[in-house]
Structure 1
Amino acid sequence: MQTRHLLFCLLAGTALAACNREPTPTDTAPAATTPAPDAAATAPAYAFSDDITAGDFSELVKTLSSDEFEGRGPGTPGGEKTVEYIKAQFVRIGLQPGNDGSWFQDVPMAETTADESATLAIDVAGKTTELKFGPDMVLNTRTGKTEVKVEDSPLVFVGYGVDAPEQDWNDYAGVDVKGKTVVILVNDPGFHAGDESLFEGKRMTYYGRWTYKFEEAARKGAKAAIIIHDTPGASYGWDVVESSWSGPQYDLRAADDPAPRLPAQGWITGDAAKQLFADAGLDLDEMYAAAGKRGFKAVPLDATVSFDLKSTVTEKSSRNVIGVLPGTERPDEAVVYMGHWDHLGKHDGEEGDNIYNGAVDNATGVAGIIEIAGKFARTTPAPKRSLAFIAVTLEESGLLGSQYYVAHPAFPLDKTVGVINIDAMGVYGKSRDLVVVGKGNSELEDLLKAQTDKQGRTLEEESTPESGFYFRSDHFNFAKAGVPALYTESGEDLVEGGREAGEAAARDYNANRYHKPGDEYSDSWKLDGVVEDLQALYGVGRVLVDGDQWPNWYEGNAFRAARDEMMGDGDSPDSGEQEAETGAN
């Protein structure tokens, strides 16, 4: 999950590597609970070139997003077919198994499927309203329990649900929510108020993400938490919430994630929230205004909520795929390219097309890292530092595969030079710009600028910083741990049609394909822009593996202290001494 903007995204590199090589390395037996696919189904048949091409890229995306892969759901036959296919590509290229002799890193998980007949019964002064799963609300549990029952839990409106001492802001001040259900607004306090003096104004911080809000409610001891949906604040419509929170939901096992968890969490529609507040004698618009002012105090709603949430819980295992190109001089130091392979799978209960193919999100990202791996494997000189190519699982379930990797890294984090993530790529042609999501974060941007300068392109900030995309993809787990991480989106100023065309394409994707069965490969895609984006991001890695720079976060960045502490002497080696050369292209 997690979500995108233009979904014009990321990554680095260039080409894919040679062809007609038989997979020979052995691997440890998979730990997943689903049957392994027939090996013939993943055997490479396409003759790949030695460089990035639109043809190579499209072949990879077409395969990964085909109906045969059933939407790449973790823990499903389609998911197993996916990881075996990625492994086969890494073998073909000539990478080495990257996880202590294995191509795979097992990620233990719990699959929880809520009974969607569940309702939220809200009682206000004797009037009971039942909200239905899907059209009115979504609800799930991360506890691993097959039943979570809540009776007459008092509802408390806690504004944006933020406790940020450095911002002198605490929506929980003066209220005890233990055993209660908190109702929360999405995004940051400055967003709806349009107040640039609050947090970062329109630009979302991590406090604005729904994941943080549930985490904080759990730390405060709440019984449950409900977020009020609004399309501008979430940056996507209710249909995305409904599709993303329906069907199987995946999580790390509690034993692998010691952070506190809520018994239940979910969302309600804006219309349902308006009715709830009106029944409680309050005006929701006035509550938005109050919550966006410093000194806001939580408001008990004089209402209770009850529900009996039954779920089917199954212990499963999904897998990250890790391939490594060892460095010739400093193999213990690594540059990481990554992208998530999972999508939303197949929704058996839905009529019509029920396969969520995830072509843009994120077959394009996986194709991108494969292309880049091939380019490095076929380009001389061989890299001095190692390169790790990681296709992670469970991104759509909360960045879980990357979270597990960061806790169990193949390369220690203090030996990880930097991370370049691809989470979706723009398929609308060349652009005059390249978007850096969260622009102004790290010195990796300086290296990227040297690449785009050569292409005659500019680096731009994302057009909707209020959407918080920097916190919504797998690189963020590295960032939280202190490792500099670069996240880009394809540009919005298209060579053919300009910004108007780019924005129209983005709106069309978000409205008609994002997290929907319509996210399928199309022969109408214009992939010359993909090739150019990958070349730029490849160039960043080329400089890093050929040199000895250790890019850091910019001064004042929230993640810099963690990196400085990690490196042991208060500063990263050679930090800030970036060179503009690009290495071989």
Structure 2
Amino acid sequence: MHATKFRAAIAAVALLAFAAPTVHAKPVDAPVTEAELAADISVLASDAFEGRAPGTEGEDRTIAWIVGQWAKLGLEPVPGSATPWLQPVPLVESQSVDGSVQFKAKGREVKLAADSLILTGRDPSLALADVPVVFVGYGVDAGGKVNADVAGKLAILLYENAPFGEKLPRYRERRQMLADAGAAAVLVVAPDSMSWENLSASLGSKTVRLASAKPGAQASGFIAQPALQTLLGKQAEGALTAAKSADYRGLALPLTADLSATTTVRPFASHNVIAKLLGAKPDGKAVLFLGHWDHLGICGEEGDADRICNGAVDNASGIAVLNAVAKRLTAGPRPDRDIYFMVTTAEEKGLIGAYYFADHPVVPLTDITVALNIDTIAISPRGTPVATIGRGRPAYDAVIRKVSTDLGRKLDEDGEADAFVQRQDGWALGAKGVPSLMVGGSFSDMKLLEAFLGSDYHRATDNFSDAIPLGGAAEDADLHVALGRAFADTKVWSGTEK
């Protein structure tokens, strides 16, 4: 859909919604039902939305539907926005046509197992020969600085967080640091926990970046663990052990690499969607609910029976919960503080929409007293304990404990959920000082979560069906309604707590 027609269509939907305001008879929050969530998930995860990929007709339909729902509830576009409801996010998509890496030792090819390398080029055409190879371990020292000379070289980087120092950057940031230091190419070692099949499907053919982002290395990709072992040879065990030291300075390998890639490059604009519920007693502090609307789009190969990655659990379920929360907060007693609702784009491509909002906030970040992120929420049954990603702030933890207990929920404080703190949109806001939390049962039962991550996650099988457990999602929706009311209540929460 043409951008002008798209914005006009959204405006028309909003005007129709405001022309017939909803009358709310009961000022009490009704429990969220599984049927209510199922109705929204079935729409967003239908084939008509084509997997909700940014920059497609599926995005246009997704955003028009969300804006229509929010307008009917009485939410308003953020005042002063150049494009009401929408925050344009300028992106560049690179789609790999082909890519290969050939390693050589003394001029002879080093044989690696098939399907053990993924390479994409930054520019339309790439051809590099005899590139020196260096294994950099985690790529940084304890001070967060690049640990080796990588200029003009192919750097092989470990994915996992460094086991030394505190608050060291995650792998995407470390990969960029290597590119900034002049690395010609960066291969990230895929951990055993990462499905190579999923990685190939979601990252091997397409990448998306902000148009304003720093240019990465000329080539980047992933290498499987066994292939790394082959390249390191007899030095493998010693190199992997040495890399755990903050003093590690990399290992120059007796190898060179020939790299080639062909890439199509497409600039386009995607959108975050942002709305506001005006508080009854605004005090300059606000609550932000967020979740990502995007998924992987048409992800299957030609000839596959089902080519669409519909993303029912990830994250149509989160958007359904956001809608249910907005419905109750607009229908019941008006909260004291302003409450914002945001759905982000390109989360699946590296939290890009959230990072863009954090760098270009349409709501002052210092006004946000808490951000509550909702993602992949349809995992657990009713009665699952409440876990928190981003816990550790005593005042916030106390509110979560009180609200959860009042709803009859038990708390899960074993810390297992902490492993996911960098894999969700709240991480982008937290980096800017916004207290950001994920609260609920989905990250409480690791066996259930790992079962999803190892099966339907990022596959065409993440479809809506009666088999999706919505009892826990409904309970978590009720929890978010109560949390929203607590954090927006000026008598309960001053907005200056730590």
User: Does the pair score TM above 0.5?
Assistant: yes
Segment of structure 1 superposing worse, 67-76 or 241-250: 241-250
The answer on 1:360 being equivalent to 2:313 is yes
The answer on 1:534 being equivalent to 2:477 is yes
Q: 1:217 touches 1:225 (CA, 8 Å); kept in 2?
A: yes
The answer on 1:433 being equivalent to 2:385 is yes
The answer on 1:398 being equivalent to 2:350 is yes
The match for 1:57 among 28, 37, 61 is 37
Cα distance change on mapping 1:78 and 1:218 into 2, 3 Å: same
Aligned residue identity for 1:76: T
Q: Secondary structure at the match of 2:285?
A: strand
Q: 2:132 touches 2:255 (CA, 8 Å); kept in 1?
A: yes
Q: Secondary structure at the match of 1:396?
A: helix
Q: 2:146 touches 2:181 (CA, 8 Å); kept in 1?
A: no
Higher relative contact order (CA 8 A, sep 6+): 1
Q: 1:442 touches 1:485 (CA, 8 Å); kept in 2?
A: no
Provide the C-alpha distance between the structure 2 equivalents of 1:344 and 1:160, rounded to a whole number of angstroms: 29
The match for 1:183 among 148, 152, 156 is 156
Aligned residue identity for 2:62: T
Q: Paired residue for 2:421? A: 470
Q: Secondary structure at the match of 1:90?
A: helix
Provide the C-alpha distance between the structure 1 equivalents of 2:5 and 2:204, rounded to a whole number of angstroms: 23
Q: 2:53 touches 2:297 (CA, 8 Å); kept in 1?
A: yes
Provide the C-alpha distance between the structure 1 equivalents of 2:68 and 2:59, rounded to a whole number of angstroms: 14
The match for 1:276 among 228, 231, 240 is 231
Q: Paired residue for 1:237? A: 195
How much does 1:348 deviate? 5.6
Q: 2:141 touches 2:247 (CA, 8 Å); kept in 1?
A: no
Q: 1:34 touches 1:80 (CA, 8 Å); kept in 2?
A: no
- CA-based RMSD of the aligned residues comes to 3.0
The match for 1:449 among 401, 412, 415 is 401
The normalised TM-score by structure 1 is 0.76
Q: Matches of residues 126-145 of structure 1 in structure 2 within 5 Å?
A: 126-129=107-110, 135-141=115-121, 143=122, 145=123
Provide the C-alpha distance between the structure 2 equivalents of 1:36 and 1:308, rounded to a whole number of angstroms: 44
Q: 2:118 touches 2:222 (CA, 8 Å); kept in 1?
A: yes
Provide the C-alpha distance between the structure 1 equivalents of 2:342 and 2:107, rounded to a whole number of angstroms: 54
Name stretches of at least 5 consecutive residues in structure 1 with no aligned partner: 1-28, 191-197, 494-501, 552-572, 577-585
Segment of structure 1 superposing worse, 118-127 or 438-447: 438-447
Aligned residue identity for 2:195: G
Cα distance change on mapping 1:222 and 1:492 into 2, 3 Å: closer
Aligned residue identity for 1:250: V
Provide the C-alpha distance between the structure 2 equivalents of 1:243 and 1:31, rounded to a whole number of angstroms: 33
Q: 1:445 touches 1:486 (CA, 8 Å); kept in 2?
A: no
Q: 2:146 touches 2:177 (CA, 8 Å); kept in 1?
A: no
Q: Paired residue for 1:26? A: none
Q: Paired residue for 2:452? A: 509
How much does 1:103 deviate? 1.1
The answer on 1:108 being equivalent to 2:90 is yes
Cα distance change on mapping 1:574 and 1:510 into 2, 3 Å: closer
The match for 2:275 among 308, 318, 323 is 323
Name stretches of at least 5 consecutive residues in structure 2 with no aligned partner: none
The match for 1:124 among 105, 112, 127 is 105
Aligned residue identity for 1:368: V
How much does 1:107 deviate? 0.9
Segment of structure 1 superposing worse, 397-406 or 290-299: 290-299
The answer on 1:81 being equivalent to 2:24 is no
Q: 1:33 touches 1:75 (CA, 8 Å); kept in 2?
A: no
The answer on 1:214 being equivalent to 2:175 is yes
Identity of aligned residues (%): 29
Provide the C-alpha distance between the structure 1 equivalents of 2:421 and 2:36, rounded to a whole number of angstroms: 29
Q: Paired residue for 1:334? A: 286
Q: Secondary structure at the match of 2:424?
A: coil
List per-residue Cα deviations over 1:195-218 (Å, max 9, x = no partner).
xxx447xxxx553x3212212212
Provide the C-alpha distance between the structure 2 equivalents of 1:264 and 1:423, rounded to a whole number of angstroms: 31
How much does 1:307 deviate? 1.3
How much does 1:408 deviate? 1.7
Q: Paired residue for 2:441? A: 490
How much does 1:32 deviate? 9.6
Cα distance change on mapping 1:504 and 1:477 into 2, 3 Å: closer
Q: 2:378 touches 2:468 (CA, 8 Å); kept in 1?
A: no
Aligned residue identity for 1:393: T
Cα distance change on mapping 1:219 and 1:441 into 2, 3 Å: farther
List per-residue Cα deviations over 1:136-185 (Å, max 9, x = no partner).
222234x5x312332221111111112332xxx7661xx32111111111
Q: Secondary structure at the match of 1:458?
A: coil
List per-residue Cα deviations over 1:313-348 (Å, max 9, x = no partner).
111111111111112221753210000000111036
Aligned residue identity for 2:438: Y
Provide the C-alpha distance between the structure 1 equivalents of 2:157 and 2:104, rounded to a whole number of angstroms: 18
Aligned residue identity for 1:429: P
Q: 1:136 touches 1:272 (CA, 8 Å); kept in 2?
A: yes
Q: Matches of residues 140-179 of structure 1 in structure 2 within 5 Å?
A: 140-141=120-121, 143=122, 145-165=123-143, 172=147, 175-179=148-152
Provide the C-alpha distance between the structure 2 equivalents of 1:70 and 1:442, rounded to a whole number of angstroms: 43
Q: Secondary structure at the match of 1:318?
A: strand
Aligned residue identity for 2:424: S
Provide the C-alpha distance between the structure 2 equivalents of 1:472 and 1:249, rounded to a whole number of angstroms: 17
Provide the C-alpha distance between the structure 2 equivalents of 1:338 and 1:539, rounded to a whole number of angstroms: 16
List per-residue Cα deviations over 1:64-103 (Å, max 9, x = no partner).
1111111111001111111111111111111111263501
Provide the C-alpha distance between the structure 2 equivalents of 1:152 and 1:548, rounded to a whole number of angstroms: 67
Provide the C-alpha distance between the structure 2 equivalents of 1:73 and 1:510, rounded to a whole number of angstroms: 20
Provide the C-alpha distance between the structure 2 equivalents of 1:330 and 1:357, rounded to a whole number of angstroms: 39
Aligned residue identity for 2:102: A
Provide the C-alpha distance between the structure 2 equivalents of 1:73 and 1:449, rounded to a whole number of angstroms: 37
Provide the C-alpha distance between the structure 1 equivalents of 2:176 and 2:297, rounded to a whole number of angstroms: 26
Cα distance change on mapping 1:389 and 1:451 into 2, 3 Å: same
The normalised TM-score by structure 2 is 0.89
Q: Matches of residues 90-105 of structure 1 in structure 2 within 5 Å?
A: 90-98=70-78, 100-101=80-81, 102-105=84-87
Cα distance change on mapping 1:408 and 1:188 into 2, 3 Å: closer
Provide the C-alpha distance between the structure 2 equivalents of 1:239 and 1:223, rounded to a whole number of angstroms: 26
Q: Matches of residues 195-206 of structure 1 in structure 2 within 5 Å?
A: 198-199=164-165
Number of residue equivalences: 482
Q: 2:142 touches 2:246 (CA, 8 Å); kept in 1?
A: no
Q: 1:341 touches 1:392 (CA, 8 Å); kept in 2?
A: yes
Q: Secondary structure at the match of 1:371?
A: helix
